[in-house]
Amino acid sequence: MHPEKKSSYEGLSRNIVLTVITVSMAPLILVGGLIFHQFRSIYRVKVYSHLCEVVDKHKDTVNTFLLEKLNEVQYLSRAYSYAELTAPGVLSETLRGMQQQYGRIFVDLGIVDEQGRQVSYAGPFNLLDADYAEADWYVNSRDRASSISDVFLGLRQSPHFIISINSEDADRKWTLRATIDFLAFTHLVENIRIGETGYAYILNSEGVFQTRHADNREQRLTLTPVKNIPYPEAPQGVTISESEGSDGETYLTISSDLKNGEWQLVYQQSVADAFSDMSRTENITLLVFLLGGLCIVVMAVVVSRKLVHRCKFIDAESELLNRQMVETGKLAAIGELAAGIAHEINNPVAIMIEEAGWVSDLLEDEGGELPSCSEIDRALAQVATQGRRCKDITHKLLSFARQTDSRVGEVDLPLLIREVVEISMQQARCVRVEFSLDLDESVPSVHASVTELQQVLLNLINNAIQAMESDGGTLAIACFADSSHAIMEVADTGPGIPAANLSRIFDPFFTTKPVGKGSGLGLSICFGIIHQMGGEIDVESTVGVGTRFTIRLPLPHVSHEQKTVAKEIHHV
Amino acid sequence: MSDATVLIVDDEVGFVSTMSKRLNMRDMVVYTAYEGAAAMRQLAEHADIQVVILDMKMPGKDGLTVLQEIKELYPLVEVIMLTGHATVPTAIEGIQHGAFDYLMKPCSFDGLTEKILQAVALKEEHEGEAIEARVSDIANRMA
């Protein structure tokens, strides 16, 4: 095959593959990308709104808790007078009552006088007479009726915070102080645990932690805000931002004001964790997409290979057909040329023969006494003989140009074969060749010229007999039909044709016979005749075994039943 | 008395001259012509021509036309056609137009002389019939 042709097949294959991939992948990518994007943004919104809600709800819970405790302490300060509260045992009684009522949230109670000295105390620590004058919580609460302090370690060296109520009556100002259990408070926010990294904490305005860190957290994870995420549906006071953590991960931070802005409830979760469900779905989708893409590519390649292979096959077939057409055309051209030449040669040959005849006439009359008379006679006879040979050749050439009777009629092949065999019988008997006929009488008639077919068959039979001349043999002639062709086979048991000659036996003037024995036109005439009829002639030959010529002639249209009958008979 | 009187019509001069010499030798009177018109002139001049040997392929008028003219003007003259193989269908057509027979070039000389003699015999037979017919015609008229 030509290299250009090969590359054009490869180009075709490549084009088909590219087209199929483009056409099927483009919508896939578009639709996939769109859904991917939509899913991503919708999921983001859902996560944000869920987290905002959680933070907001807990903010409310914490606020409510603080307010309740404040109210409870406030109630206490209103319900009892200074004297009552400082009376021995009353405060302890009250604390016990409150602890019974609300659990061990209130750790202790204390009354602090105007100078910051604790004058009465109930609780687990020995803090009576403690001086709070310099304590932050006391200083900060002096000018307010009630206040809640930040968490601090204080005198007892454990984190706690204090609710203080300033009261006054006619003769003095005093402060009721209640300590809230840090653990109980911390539990309020520690409950907020989402995913693996999501947890909440409370910061005061200076950024100091007001709750414990979760045990398994890095204690000091510093977060640098990267961007604020404006989220329109966030409840009042809730802000969302993304921050780069010191551990390299990106964190989602949601914060909300507490205690009138003094504290902040902060919820923090790594982005990867918050969106883990989404990433998993995305990964699965991506995998499906990749596998699908791979399938499409493989299919495209396979299908294009098949298509191109088929194309190649068809091209090769048509090339073969073209070659046959060229062959036929070549033969026709040669035929015309040969006919022209034969015609032109006929006249001079005729004259030569006549002249030779004239000389011999003259010699007969008056040359009897010439000494070389017999020699001249012989020469003239030779001229005449060779002239006749020329004539034979030119007449064969003219047959080759198909100037025989080519009128087409219905030909009964078995009958034709028997006739021709009869003609050849005498010649065959001389050289000990036996005929073996296998004729299917039901073969339908073909449209052909009888004389031409006779010529072809006679030629094949003569060739076969000549091939078996030396040793004798069997000449098997078979005739049958398949669905669309009538087939004649002429097989001999002669010496066979060497492979080198096999491709040339249909060429005009190709002959292996000695000079003067054959013109080399017989088989090319056969070839031309059979192709003219739309048929085929093939040869198979094995040296030492024999040669088989197969002629396939197209059958005129036959109905289906006839065909099957013919087939059955053939198979039987 | 000659065996036959023959007119050879062929554009091949060599063929015609040799053939005429050979036929002469066999006691035949031979006239020659190298194309159709000359052949018609010869026929007009020599009423004794019995057989025409006519080539099918000639320049000018082709053999078939000449044959038809001859048969029209001289219906009793027999025509033997000479043909190359390729013009066999033409020759068959010629026979349908009344030619005696055809020979393929190059023809064997003996075959040709035999055909000529057969043609002469046929012509004489035809002439005999024609004379008889005329005699009986005249006899009928007289009666």
- CB–CB contact B15 A391 (8 Å): no
Decide if pLDDT at A229 tops 90.
no
User: How many other CB atoms are there within 10 angstroms of residue B63's CB atom?
Assistant: 26
pLDDT over 90, % of chain A: 8
What's the pLDDT tens digit per position in A73-95?
888 888 888 888 888 788 888 88
- From the number of C-beta atoms within 10 Å of its C-beta (0-12, 13-18, 19+), residue B69 rates as middle
Residues of B in contact with A385 (CB under 8 A): none
Contact A347 B15 (CB under 8 A): yes
Q: How far is A390 from chain B (nearest CA, A)?
A: 9
The chain-wide mean pLDDT, for chain A, equals 82
Identify the H or E element spanning A310: helix A276-366
Establish if B86 touches chain A: CB-CB under 8 angstroms: yes
Specify whether the CB–CB gap between A93 and A76 falls below 8 A: no
What is the pLDDT, as a whole number, of residue A569?
Answer: 46
- Which string of DSSP letters, residue by residue, matches A176-212? EEEEEPHHHHHHHHHT-EETTTEEEEEEETT--B-SP
Using the predicted structure, report yes or no on whether residue A267 has a pLDDT greater than 50: yes
d(CA A424, CA B105): 28
Q: Assess whether pLDDT exceeds 60 at residue A337.
A: yes
In chain A, which residues have their Cβ closer than 8 Å to the Cβ of B88?
403
Provide, rounded to the nearest whole percent, the portion of chain A with pLDDT above 70: 89
Contact of A151 with A182, CB cutoff 8 Å: yes
Choose the mutation target among B105, B107, B108, B112 for the interface with A, i.e. most A CBs under 10 Å.
Answer: B105
Residues of A in contact with B34 (CB under 8 A): none
Q: Cβ separation of A395 and B12 shorter than 8 Å?
A: no
Q: What are A549's strand-pairing partners?
A: A490, A539
C-alpha B57/C-alpha B83 separation (Å) is 7
The owner of tokens 């203080």 is A164
Q: For residue range A232-252, what is the model confidence (pLDDT) as tens digits?
A: 666 777 888 888 777 777 888
> Which of B88, B89, B78, B84 lies closest to B107 in space, CA to CA?
B84
Give the confidence band of A326 by pLDDT, cuts at 50, 70, 90.
confident
pLDDT, tens digit, for every residue of A434-470? Answer: 888 898 888 888 888 887 888 888 888 888 888 888 8
Q: Which residue has the higher pLDDT, A557 or B135?
A: B135
Any CB–CB contact under 8 A between A398 and chain B? yes
What pLDDT score was predicted for residue B39? 92
Half-sphere exposure of A494 (CA within 13 A, CB side): 27
Distance from CA of B117 to the nearest CA of A (A): 19
Mean pLDDT to the nearest integer, A299-313: 91
With cut-offs at 50, 70 and 90, classify the pLDDT of residue B45.
very high
Three-state secondary-structure class, residue B12: coil
Q: Which of B21, B25, B105 sits opposite A347 (nearest CB)?
A: B105
Look up residue A431 and give its two tokens. Answer: 């050289």
Whether a cis peptide bond, with omega within 30° of 0, leads into B106 is yes
Any A CB within 8 A of B106 CB:
yes
Calculate mean pLDDT across residues A94-120.
Answer: 85
Please state, in angstroms and rounded to a whole number, the distance separating the CA atoms of residues A304 and A291: 20
Mean pLDDT of A147-167: 82
Q: Which of residues 46-105 of A touch B (CB under 8 A)?
A: none
Query: With 50 as the cut, is the pLDDT of residue B10 above it?
Result: yes
**pLDDT band for position A130 (50/70/90)?**
confident
Q: How confident is the model at residue A159 (pLDDT cuts 50, 70, 90)?
A: confident
What gap in Å lies between CA A351 and CA B15, rounded to an integer? 5
Sort out which chain A residues have CB atoms less than 8 A from B107's CB and list them. Answer: 350
Residues of A in Cβ contact (< 8 Å) with B19? 354
For helices A90-102 and A3-79, the axis angle rounded to 10 degrees is 140
- Statement: residue A560 has pLDDT above 60: no
Q: Which residue of B has its CA nearest to A336?
A: B86
Residues of chain B above pLDDT 90, percent: 32
Kindly report the nearest CA distance between residue A349 and chain B, in angstroms.
7
> Is the pLDDT score of B8 beyond 90?
yes
pLDDT band at A132 (very low <50, low <70, confident <90, very high): confident
| Three-state secondary structure call for residue A476 | strand
pLDDT at site A566: 44
Contact assignment for B22 to A346 by CB distance below 8 Å: no
Q: Which of A344, A346, A388, A449 to mutate to test the interface with B (most CBs of B within 10 A)?
A: A346
| Facing A354 at nearest CB: one of B85, B86, B109 | B109
Q: Is the pLDDT of residue A281 over 70?
A: yes
- Indicate whether A518 pLDDT > 70: no
Whole-angstrom distance, CA of residue A509 vs CA of residue B68? 40
Q: What is the mean pLDDT of residues A349-360?
A: 88
Q: Is residue A287 predicted with pLDDT exceeding 90?
A: yes
Size of interface A-B (CB pairs under 8 A): 59
Residue A561, pLDDT > 50, answer no
To the nearest whole Å, the CA of A511 is away from the closest chain B CA by: 24
Are B109 and A349 in contact (CB < 8 Å)? no
Answer for the pair A474, A436: CB distance below 8 angstroms, yes or no: yes
Q: How far apart are the first and last CA of chain A?
A: 43
Alpha carbons A139 and A133: distance in angstroms, whole number: 7
Region A495-508 average pLDDT: 82
Q: Which chain A residue shows the shortest CA-CA distance from B21? A: A358
**pLDDT higher than 90, residue A294:** yes
- Closest-CA residue of chain B to A353: B106
Contact predicate B37/B60, CB 8 Å? yes
Q: What's the pLDDT tens digit per position in A359-375?
A: 888 888 877 777 888 88
**Cβ-Cβ contacts under 8 Å, B25 against chain A:** 361, 365
Half-sphere exposure of A314 (CA within 13 A, CB side): 7
Helix axes B109-142, B13-25, angle to 10 degrees: 70
Q: Which among B25, B85, B105 has the least Cβ separation from residue A403?
A: B85
What CA–CA distances, in Å, run from A322 to A312, A318, B33, B76, B103? Answer: 15, 6, 51, 57, 42
CA distance to partner chain B, nearest, from residue A416 (Å): 24
- Could you tell me which chain A residue has the CA closest to the CA of B10? A347
- pLDDT of A1 > 50? The answer is no
For position A564, what pLDDT does the model report?
Answer: 47
> Do the beta carbons of residue B83 and residue B103 sit within 8 Å?
yes
Contact (Cβ atoms closer than 8 angstroms) between residue B143 and residue B136: no
pLDDT score of A539 more than 60? yes
* Residue A358 at interface with chain B, using a CB cutoff of 8 Å: yes
How far, in whole angstroms, is CA A147 from its chain's centroid?
A: 72
Residues A397-411 have pLDDT tens digits of 776 665 455 667 888
Would an 8 Å CB–CB cutoff place A391 in contact with chain B? yes
pLDDT at B69: 92
Q: Is the CB of B14 less than 8 angstroms away from the CB of A351?
A: yes
Rg of chain A over all Cα atoms, to the nearest angstrom: 60
A394 vs B: CB within 8 A? yes
On the question of pLDDT at A226 being above 80, the answer is no
**Of A343, A355, A401, which is closest to B18 when you measure between CB atoms?**
A355
Among residues A471, A514, A464, A519, the alpha carbon closest in space to that of A489 is found at: A464
Position A519 pLDDT exceeds 80: no
Under the banding of pLDDT at 50, 70 and 90, the label for residue A213 is: low
Percent of chain B with pLDDT over 70: 95
Inform me whether the pLDDT recorded for A114 exceeds 90.
no
Contact: B84, A342; criterion CB under 8 Å: yes
Whole-angstrom distance, CA of residue A418 vs CA of residue A178: 135
DSSP summary character for residue A552 = E
Given its phi and psi angles, is residue A465 left (phi above 0), alpha (psi -120 to 50 degrees) or beta?
A: alpha
- Asked if the C-beta of B85 comes within 8 angstroms of chain A's C-beta atoms, the answer is yes
* pLDDT score of A515: 63
Pairing label, strands A193-194, A198-204: antiparallel
The CA–CA distances, whole Å, from A487 to A449, A497, A556 equal 16, 22, 13
Nearest to B105 among A350, A365, A401 (CB): A350
Q: Which residue of B has its CA nearest to A400?
A: B86
Q: Stretch B99-120: mean pLDDT, rounded?
A: 87
Residue of A nearest to B87 (CA): A403
DSSP states along A350-408:
HHHHHHHHHHHHHHHHH-TT-TTHHHHHHHHHHHHHHHHHHHHHHHHHHHHTT-S----
